[in-house]
């Protein structure tokens, strides 16, 4: 059970400046009080009162910590690509520069490498020309990289640039780095706000209902699944096998399965992959092929890791973001399916394999993610200007909230096999009935 202290947001000090939004924005504006909360749990039993605990609500504050006209902001994008990165950069720039009047917004190039002057390239002073049309393109105009930098070097560099606000756009590894930077800032008594914006198409960030890029990735994955279905139906005993991203969580695989409606087996990290036996995957796939002459299988990249020998599991090692490298389940599954149906007395299967990993994450943001990126970027700017730090701006119970980095980093979210989402997958695929 979380406590009120765990939900408390760190601030750099007492806000003393009137918000510039009073003068630069026309019409009435509602400012958010620091005491406003969004309930942690909105569902409760009738005989149990709901817990009063909640996240601090995001939004513009009437008084801010930084003098906007004398401030400098920096934006960094890290880790793998996700639809909407450029949208976040664009919306941060416009909120900070046009609405608050921050004169200098720097784009840090190639992830955290750009915060180490010995490794990275110089920052780009962003202008309206830089960001005017970037939301129509995938990727990130700032570039990205994996891996952290020494926090002392990073903070030295930020101070040398006169940066007051750092916005870190990335997943769990990025936000672990942001937390280390925030702690170094606090250790030396500097006044730099560090605000994270969660990004991962896996949608596996704790206390974040939906991360930007997820729905666009699902839409792109649905297209691939539909093509796999066409391929599978065009040959005898055809199997369309699609591997999707999802290291430790099967949210993309599950959502794309539901969106497509053409999947017969969905394999995710949250459930064990049993290959052999009458109730194993291969036997069920055989019964499906005997009955319908085709099948579509979707597998998340982190599924079936138990199929790799211990010696093989240890071999891949750790990537630069601190994640254990996975065995490649897609080719293994294709090989196992092909070999199984080559056995005496078996009719061969014709496997068509699709691996659209980079395809689905490099697309431009769709409408839903464009809306979410605008919301998260704007609220991140509000949080930083108010002097709030060591947090991510998150979507929770359909509200924008501030979540302490300590709560969300290293706490990956998983899909609950008892959830409505997984129940919908089982209902649509029928994979338990075969």
Q: Among all residues, which ones are annotated catalytic?
A: 202
Q: What is d(CA 279, CA 394) in angstroms, rounded to the nearest whole number?
A: 41
Pairing of strands 10-11, 388-389: antiparallel
Q: How far is CA 276 from CA 237, 337, 340, 367, in A?
A: 20, 11, 10, 43
CB 57 within 8 A of CB 32: yes
- Beta strand ranges found along 19-159 (DSSP E): 37-39, 54-57, 63-64, 72-77, 104-108, 124-125
Q: What is d(CA 316, CA 324) in angstroms, rounded to the nearest whole number?
A: 7
CB 12 within 8 A of CB 407: no
Beta-bridged to residue 37, according to DSSP, are 56
User: If you count them, how many residues does the chain have?
Assistant: 434
CB 273 within 8 A of CB 305: no
- 227-242: buried (b, 16+ CB within 10 Å) or exposed (e) per residue? ebbebbeeeebbbbbb
Give the residue among 216, 212, 217, 219 at the shortest CA–CA distance from 372.
212
* 414 token code pair: 């998983």
Cα of 20 vs its chain's centroid, Å = 31
Residue carrying the six token digits 């990735």: 217
CB 65 within 8 A of CB 11: yes
Phi-psi region of 424 (alpha: psi -120 to 50; beta: other; left: phi over 0): alpha
Residues 6+ apart with CB under 8 A from 122: 109
Question: Cα-flanking dihedrals φ and ψ of residue 312, to 5°?
Answer: -70, -35
């Amino acid at each position: 059970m979380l406590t009120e202290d765990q939900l408390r947001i760190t601030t750099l000090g007492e806000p003393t400046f009137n918000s510039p939004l009073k003068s630069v924005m026309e019409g009435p504006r509602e400012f958010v009080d620091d005491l406003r909360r969004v309930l942690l749990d909105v569902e409760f039993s009738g005989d149990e009162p709901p817990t009063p605990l909640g996240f601090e609500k995001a939004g513009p504050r009437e008084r801010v910590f930084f003098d906007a006209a004398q401030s400098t902001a920096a934006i960094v994008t890290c880790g793998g690509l996700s639809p909407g990165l450029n949208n976040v950069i664009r919306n941060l720039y416009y909120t900070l520069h046009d609405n608050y009047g921050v004169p200098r917004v720097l784009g840090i190039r190639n992830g955290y490498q750009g915060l180490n002057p010995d490794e990275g390239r110089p920052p780009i002073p962003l202008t309206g020309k830089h960001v005017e049309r970037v939301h129509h393109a995938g990727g990130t105009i700032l570039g990205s990289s994996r891996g952290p930098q020494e926090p002392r070097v990073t903070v030295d560099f930020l101070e040398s640039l006169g940066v007051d606000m750092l916005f870190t756009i990335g997943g769990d590894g990025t936000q672990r780095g942001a937390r280390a930077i925030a702690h170094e800032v606090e250790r030396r008594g500097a006044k730099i706000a560090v605000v994270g914006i969660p990004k991962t198409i896996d949608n596996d960030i704790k206390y974040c209902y939906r991360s930007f890029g997820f729905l666009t990735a699902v839409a792109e994955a649905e297209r691939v699944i539909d093509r796999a279905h066409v391929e599978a139906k065009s040959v005898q005993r055809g199997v369309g096998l699609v591997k999707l991203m999802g290291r430790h969580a099967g949210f993309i695989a599950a959502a794309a399965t539901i969106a497509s409606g053409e999947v017969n087996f969905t394999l995710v990290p949250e459930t064990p992959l049993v290959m052999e036996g009458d109730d194993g995957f291969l036997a069920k796939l055989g019964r499906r092929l005997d009955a319908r002459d085709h099948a579509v299988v979707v597998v998340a990249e982190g599924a079936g890791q138990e199929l790799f020998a211990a010696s093989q599991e240890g071999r891949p090692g750790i990537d630069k973001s601190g994640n254990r490298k996975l065995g490649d389940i897609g080719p293994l599954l294709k090989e196992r399916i092909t070999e199984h149906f080559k056995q005496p007395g078996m009719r061969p299967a014709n496997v068509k394999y699709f691996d659209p990993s980079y395809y689905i994450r490099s697309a431009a943001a769709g409408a839903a993610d464009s809306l979410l990126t605008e919301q998260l970027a704007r609220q991140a700017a509000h949080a930083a200007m108010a002097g709030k730090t060591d947090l991510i701006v998150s979507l929770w119970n359909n509200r924008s909230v501030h979540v302490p980095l300590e709560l969300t980093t290293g706490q990956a979210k998983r899909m609950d096999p008892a959830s409505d989402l997984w129940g919908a997958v089982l209902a649509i695929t029928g994979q338990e009935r075969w």
